[in-house]
Structure 1
Amino acid sequence: MPKVPKSTRTLNKMVSSHIPPSQDSLCICIRDFTTMILGLTKNNNNLPLPPSSDEVDTATLLNITDVNIDSLVVEERNIATEEASITKRIPLKYKSLCLSEMVQHNIKHPTFQWDVKGQTRWDGLVIDILVKHWLYAKNKEAFQEYPLQTDFCTKTIVSAIVEQLLRGQKASYGKDKITNQNLSRIKKNVSFWFFLH
């Protein structure tokens, strides 16, 4: 089995040869879906805080196939103005469904462990749920605004794209030492989800 490169840049380059380019409609769709779930917009690109150690400890590794999406309750809520640009392209109910499943796993707010190198157990769980719900929404024809190539819409490729997005963001986040004093400055300076360009 080939050794996984330690360098984020090398790993991204290796993965990039097997997935569509960052400007492909599939990558854009996955990026939009992910940013919608995380509550990020062009006007508010502040990263959600990483989970606390208590949140990480209580997150359950319940098999995600055990949760039937169709049985989840969709929470009706108003669409915030800043979300409108994405939710015009992706129906908001798919965000509600994804967040509802995250609650089943004791994930109180969708986020990643930005401050921890590599992919953590928490990151893997959030990615699995995101990918599951992206594929569900795609099968429900929720992404009609995006011209997707069906051949690339597999769990493996979608997961690889989300993982690459996360690796790039962690690399950007880790360039500065994270402290309470500079966290706000770092968040404002990070150009979220555009590191693949």
Structure 2
Amino acid sequence: MRVDPASAQSDPHATGCSFLSPPLTADAILAGYGKVGLTVSSTSHDMDIYVSVRVIDESGHEVDFTGFATSGFGDRPIPLMKGWLKASHRKIDEERSTNYTVKHTHRKADYAELVPDEEVEVEIELVPSTGLLRKGQRIRVDVQPYDGVAHGMHHAYDPAYHDGAVNRVHTGPSRLGYVQLPIVG
């Protein structure tokens, strides 16, 4: 995903990648924390990673769980779950992390710049949420290098490591890659 600051500011969905599940075979209730594990690399020394978990209905439209998309809060529905991480802050706080969520130290001593094009594993906490997912709907996970979520919160865009960078999400059997969702029923 190449970051172009002009398109990033005009269309926050212009870059990134998405993963789409098969249709659900039964209704599911999602409630609580989730997390995402990825293997990433960048041509830059740092990388912002924003993850959105969205629900897509049988006709290909995003399910709006909030009603904000039609109330002037944003131009598209807010994702069911979202999370973000600056790759240089990827050090996990083992004492605060659980099987259900991951926490990071965010200590200056744990800051770890990326080595250009070196693959690293990151885990990202998803903000807890609840939702009823219907049979036939799909789950879509969007990974972007900047905050493309219409939720009123703005994260800083740092051109020092974004402009001209190529960020990659690596997949395959030997690489970390998962989405853990809190399905309770």
TM range (shorter): under 0.3
Q: More helix by proportion, 1 or 2?
A: 1
Q: Which has the higher strand share?
A: 2
TM-score norm. by structure 1 comes to 0.26
TM-score, normalised by the number of residues in structure 2: 0.27
Asked which structure has the greater RCO (Cα within 8 Å, sep 6+), the reply is 2
